[in-house]
Copies of this chain bind each other. A is one copy, B any other.
Amino acid sequence: MHVAYRPEDLVAIVAAERTAGATTAIIRDIASLGSARAGDLSFLGNKKYRAEVAATKASVVLVPMDYEGEPQADQFFLFVTNPSAALALVCARIEQSLWPRPPAGVHPTAFVAPGARISPGATIGPLCVIEEEAVIGAGTVLHASVQVGRGAQIGENCLILAGCIIGAACELRDRVRLQPGVVIGSDGFGYEFVDGRHEKVPQIGIVVVENDVEIGANSTIDRARFSRTVIGEGTKIDNLVQVGHNVVIGKHCILCAQVAIAGSATLEDYVVLGGQAAVAGHITVRKGTKAGGQTGIAFDTEPGSYLNGTPARPYMLDRRIEVLRQKLPELFKRVGFLEAELKKTSESAD
């Protein structure tokens, strides 16, 4: 990173409520408490690392309001309500300086069909392909080699990274972010079995990605068989996630890496799925359901439930069963012993 902040710059950026100590260092990097060196900014984001503050070599440390230790020599503490959120403010500033927003306009190597409508405030990167009737809104930035299909619509202030493919007629609302290689609007996986062969069922619906959604690298969102596959406002999807046709995902959900949602499933708002979790087709995952990594959800869930395992069970039950499962060798022995005892008892009774 090529950054340089004076301690007083950081006070302003994070709007520190109070400070302690002082440093003459110029901040050029960010590091965890344990790995920080002089000239680094660090932060106490998780109480579990509280003891590391006293030993950190960071020149500036973001600490929570209730932190009680004193800074070392040439060390500066910034007290803030949420050190992690405060760090994000610094990082956002660095992000802007590292990767400034490219100027608006269409790169000369891009191919834009005559009937596409590109806002003069949009940026179309090198070697992008924008097909007929596609619409791209103001403030939206397409990095290199993005494909936008016929009639697709992208709203304002979206950020589409390199190599994304947005299929025909699909819609992205505003402030959508797609990491590299995302596919929106691939055909749903639908066939009719006729005379020993799988005949393709045409997939003529679309995908709608609502405001403030982010989708991770190489994830795939299938278009609906008809009607719409929907990713609700504010939902965040990690890398290599699969969303099947006609799935409807609510608002502010979290889908971790490699999750798979089978066709026509519904996720209500605030659902959180751990990595590699899967949801079967045609079921409803109710509001606020949480599931651990690798969980397999095959039935409708209760609102606010916390599930784990395959098949999915309530988290605490799953943990308890796992503990007992580890004791199966012991249980088999105990039952064998009981059988032997009973045999002795019945023989002595004879």
9 smallest CB-CB distances across A and B, nearest first, come from A186-B217, A91-B202, A30-B226, A129-B144, A217-B220, A179-B186, A242-B257, A183-B217, A147-B162
What residues on B are CB-neighbors of A179 within 8 Å?
183, 186-187
From residue A112, how far is it (CB to closest CB) to chain B in Å?
Answer: 10
- Beyond A220-B240, A242-B275, 9 additional contacts (C-beta under 8 Å) are A29-B226, A88-B192, A143-B147, A145-B145, A167-B180, A189-B256, A218-B218, A257-B262, A334-B339
Q: Does A82 reach chain B (CB closer than 8 Å)? A: yes
Q: Does A331 reach chain B (CB closer than 8 Å)? A: yes
Q: Are B324 and A320 in contact (CB under 8 A)?
A: no
Q: Which of B31, B82, B334 contacts A335 (CB 8 A)?
A: B334
Q: Are B331 and A321 in contact (CB under 8 A)?
A: no
What residues on B are CB-neighbors of A294 within 8 Å?
278, 294, 296, 310
From residue A294, how far is it (CB to closest CB) to chain B in Å?
Answer: 5
A179 to B187, CA, bound (A): 7
Pick 28 A–B contacts, CB within 8 A, sort by A.
A1-B204, A30-B204, A30-B226, A35-B227, A82-B192, A85-B192, A91-B225, A127-B127, A127-B145, A143-B147, A144-B147, A179-B183, A186-B239, A189-B216, A217-B222, A218-B218, A218-B220, A218-B240, A240-B260, A242-B257, A244-B257, A275-B278, A310-B310, A325-B325, A327-B332, A341-B342, A341-B346, A345-B346
Chain B residue at minimum C-beta to C-beta distance from A191: B236
What residues on B are CB-neighbors of A52 within 8 Å?
none
Q: Are A220 and B216 in contact (CB under 8 A)?
A: yes
What residues on B are CB-neighbors of A191 within 8 Å?
236, 254
Within the oligomer, what is the number of copies of this chain? 3
A341 to B209, CA, bound (A): 63
Q: Which of B194, B239, B335, B346 contacts A189 (CB 8 A)?
A: B239
Q: Are A345 and B349 in contact (CB under 8 A)?
A: yes
Known A192-B82, A328-B321: A260·B242 in contact at CB below 8 Å: no
